[in-house]
Amino acid sequence: MTHISVDKALSKAKSHFKNGEIKEARKFCLLVLNVFPKNTRAQNLLTSLEVSKVPQKIKADLVAYYNSSDFKMVIDISKKFIEQNPGDCFVWNICGLANLNLGRINEALENLKIAVSLNKTNYEYFNNLGVASEKLKDWESSITFYKKALELQPNYFQAYYNMGNVFLASGQLEQAIIAFKKVIAIEPNYVEAYNNLANILQEQGKLENAITIYKKAIVINPNLSNIYNNLGNALQKLFKFNDSIEFYKKALALNPNFYQSLNNLGNSFKHKGMIASAKEMYQKALSVKPDYVEAHNNLGVLFQEQGNFEEAIVSYKKAIFYNSNFCEALNNLGIIYSIKGCFKESINFFEKALLINPNYESARLQKLHQLSHICDWKEIRKDYQLIQDLGIKKQSVSPWLILSLDDNPYRHLVRSQKYSKSKFNQNSKKFDIKSIKSERIIRLGYFGADFYNHATMYLMSRIFSLHNRKKFEVYVYSYGNNKNDIMRQKLISNVDVFDDVSQMSDRDIAYLARQDKIDIAIDLKGYTQNTRSGIFSYRAAPVQINYLGYPGTMGTSFIDYIIADNIIVPEMFRECYSEKIIFMPYSYQPNDNKRKISTKQITRLEMGLPEDSFVFCSFNNLYKITSQEFDIWMRIMKKIEGSVLWLLKSNKWGEENLKKEAQNRGVEPSRLIFAEKISQ
């Protein structure tokens, strides 16, 4: 022992043992035990050597065939030898490993259990049993075997690594973290343990910690494409898209056919508004793997956001063709059909998604919202108890969709905070407001999608012309459809600058506003349909205000104020807003007092209304009507004989359901009259 360390002696012994060189292995074990008689590693290995009865030539052949992946030959030789020598643990073990590699898990378990019964001191045999049990998802047995291996060899890092994988697969993340950290402590260069540890931290939302560990793994081995990809994913979640693109490209330099990285690179390009590049990456991913459902779905989202619904539907249906249980594509199909006004088809897709994953909260909320559009309150009541928890305890959901389903402002704040955190970068660089020269004219920027013949414009129209031009310059940034109607032309004539930014990314719109030196940015959409809230996450202006379109809280750090009144935000609910509240003295809602009123005499007969009846009316969208309001309305109508309820015509299912609900409450369905929309 004067010329060789204990570790080296035992390493040589193991090497000889694995090569079937029993005599040489025994020599090194005895060399250690002569100096250190209580060395357990040498004792265990020597026990294994004494049990082995396989001739050196057969053992060498078995090892050679196993190393060359000729597992069938290993099994054939093993079986022949076992017939004559059933008590040899080495042969049972290698036969079990061969069966394991061929996917014959039950046969492997049987072989490995016999090996362990013949030699209860070999930690590698117990580890192999753990691997076989893991293949059968028998997590409990697998952990037991790995722990036994570690009792025999406390520094056996492979068992810790395998055990970490079992904890990870079974959802025991904290235990998995402990196991992977043990691996790293014993074997600091085990790069797979770093990667798995970082993956868990990323899943837990500890992104900065995960990034640090991925980078350590890259230092150890800079040639593993999956680690660059995983690092890119963590950076993407932090909205660091330039950095994520860099690492996806490094992954692809190592593996040009890494379809996951191609898809992820497409996502980063899309976030940066590089739509053509994103589309190219998704298509490249599909050229490598035509059945890659995530890329089909992402391509569908891209088409959908461009308003190309038919191509989006094709992409979503391809994803479902390759994986009928792919909930996200089913959900997205439901959304498209809802936009097209096909409410029944839409609900059907959401229900399919929920059959596969009952915890898919976005699909459940979408389903409830579409049921609201058709006033199917009976179906809504089935999920009534779930509504208050949607978007709070599990996944984030659209605050806009649930606004008409839940009246609790405290829950709306939590939902909005959760939603904004998942969707937008909350750490955009703020302006140094003190550096802005106060003596210059203030530049206001209005952002929205509805600068045309739309309700928002009918409310806002006069405001644009009433700004004091000695104090303010008015810029408008339109990211909606280019509907060049009278209302848009009137708006353009009343503002200083009108920009159609519909083809620009959120980031580029924000940077354009910065170049324009906008002082106050006013978001007219909030979380309503066709919103582009991401613009404000990049800080389009030093002061950013939510106004008019969405009277709820945005729950973000980048919206500074909301314009409201004491009706919209009662004093008791002010703490339910993340924004500071600018209170208007009477009403937050503007109206155009110069708007022309038609001089045409419209008769009741033209509107389909009875001549001598009292007319109640509500021209809200049908989804805003709940059974509670309807109960009150029907009670009033029963007291006022012959009265009618005039509602906005929306969809045939909603009308049918409302008539049924009226009849159920003792009101003749014909007393509900639905108004057609008429041109201005």
Cα gap 574→393, rounded to integer Å: 23
Which CATH architecture group holds 615-675?
3-Layer(aba) Sandwich (3.40)
- pLDDT band at 438; cut points 50, 70, 90: low
Fold agreement (433-583, 615-675): yes
Cα gap 200→207, rounded to integer Å: 10
Whole-number pLDDT of residue 313: 98
What is the CATH number assigned to the segment(s) 433-583? 3.40.50.11380
Does pLDDT of 423 surpass 60?
yes
Q: For residue range 330-367, list pLDDT tens digits in order.
A: 999 999 999 999 999 999 999 999 999 999 999 999 99
Residue 444: what are its φ and ψ, rounded to 5°?
-100, 135
Residue 71: what are its φ and ψ, rounded to 5°?
-70, -30
Whole-number pLDDT of residue 436: 61
Highest-scoring range by mean pLDDT, 46-50, 53-57, 80-84, 495-499: 495-499
Residues with Cβ within 8 Å of 155's Cβ and at least 6 positions away in sequence, in order, are 186
Whole-number pLDDT of residue 404: 93
Instruction: Looking at 340-454, list the stretches that DSSP marks H as alpha helix, in order from N- to C-terminal side.
Output: 343-356, 361-373, 377-382, 384-387, 399-402, 409-423
Helix 275-288 and helix 259-271, axial crossing angle in degrees, nearest 10: 170
Cβ atoms of residues 194 and 214 within 8 Å: yes
> Which has the minimum average pLDDT: 227-241, 275-289, 432-446, 590-604?
432-446
Does pLDDT of 45 surpass 90?
no
How many DSSP H helices and E strands does the chain contain?
Answer: 32, 10
Which of residues 558 and 29 earns the better pLDDT score? 558
For the chain, give the longest Cα–Cα distance: 116
Does pLDDT of 481 surpass 70?
yes
Cβ atoms of residues 577 and 555 within 8 Å: no
Tokens for 429, please give them.
Answer: 């660089």
Whole-number pLDDT of residue 231: 98
Does pLDDT of 196 surpass 60?
yes
Tokens for 674, please give them.
Answer: 């639905």
Cβ atoms of residues 80 and 50 within 8 Å: no
Whole-number pLDDT of residue 18: 65
DSSP string, 456-508: HHHHHHHHHHHS-TTTEEEEEEE-S-----HHHHHHHHHSSEEEE-TTS-HHH
- pLDDT band at 51; cut points 50, 70, 90: low
Q: Give the domain ranges of the chain.
A: 433-583, 615-675
Which of residues 85 and 575 earns the better pLDDT score? 575
- pLDDT band at 199; cut points 50, 70, 90: very high
530: left (phi > 0), else alpha (psi -120 to 50), else beta?
left
The pLDDT mean for the chain works out to 93
Distances in Å between the Cα of 263 and the Cα atoms of 252, 271, 295, 339 are 11, 13, 6, 26
Does pLDDT of 613 surpass 70?
yes
* % pLDDT > 70, the chain: 96
pTM of the model: 0.85
Tokens for 107, please give them.
Answer: 């046969």
Single-letter amino acid, residue 149: A
The two beta strands, 672-675 and 580-583, are unpaired
- pLDDT band at 44; cut points 50, 70, 90: confident
- pLDDT band at 87; cut points 50, 70, 90: confident
Does pLDDT of 56 surpass 80?
no
Whole-number pLDDT of residue 547: 98
- pLDDT band at 434; cut points 50, 70, 90: low
Cβ atoms of residues 85 and 53 within 8 Å: yes
Q: Which helix (H) or strand (E) holds 635?
A: helix 627-639
Whole-number pLDDT of residue 39: 86
Cα gap 167→171, rounded to integer Å: 6
Q: For residue range 453-479, list pLDDT tens digits in order.
A: 999 999 999 999 999 999 999 999 999
Whole-number pLDDT of residue 491: 96
Cα gap 161→168, rounded to integer Å: 11
Whole-number pLDDT of residue 50: 56
Burial tier of 302 (Cβ tally within 10 Å: 0-12, 13-18, 19+): buried
Q: Counting every residue, how long is the chain? A: 680
- pLDDT average, residue stretch 368-380: 97
Does pLDDT of 619 surpass 60?
yes
